[in-house]
Amino acid sequence: MSANYPFLMDVSLGLIYVFLGGGIGSVLRFSIERWTGKAFPSSFPYSTLTVNLIGSFFIGVLFVCLDRLSLPSQYRLFIGTGLLGGFTTFSTFSLENALLIRNASYQAAVVNIATSILLGLSFVILGIYFASLVIKK
């Protein structure tokens, strides 16, 4: 069947790369959330901030790697869509801020939103910068 429909094979392999990367990213996120929860016990969502900043840095690194190295598209699927997609999360970030607002923790919500956006962008730029130093065209 794959001889007649090669695109099905490509889709199937793509799903496998995303699935495997997502599983690894989710386990890494779980591990970091457990660690930050113990290291920094607080109602402030340090664990989500931590994984999103790490993910922001590595998406910058991946961007440079894909731009400068002749990497197959499987790397983008496995690392970008899968691993980093399973590792970071916008929905948790949104929920945690909604709960902070609902609990009248307005200052914490503003700090978390501003910190996540500004540092997240900064970490993407740092990832691009450091990867650009190491990986030359």
Cα–Cα distance between 58 and 37 in angstroms, integer? 22
Query: Which amino acids are annotated as binding site for Na(+), given as ranges?
Result: 85, 88
Take residue 14 and report the two structure tokens written for it.
Answer: 């793509």
Query: Which amino acids are annotated as binding site, given as ranges?
Result: 85, 88
- Distance of CA 9 to CAs 16, 79, 122, 128, Å? 11, 20, 38, 33
Contacts of 88 (CB under 8 A, 6+ apart): 25, 29, 51, 52, 54, 55, 56
Q: In which region does residue 104 sit, left (phi positive, over 0), alpha (psi from -120 to 50) or beta (all else)?
A: left
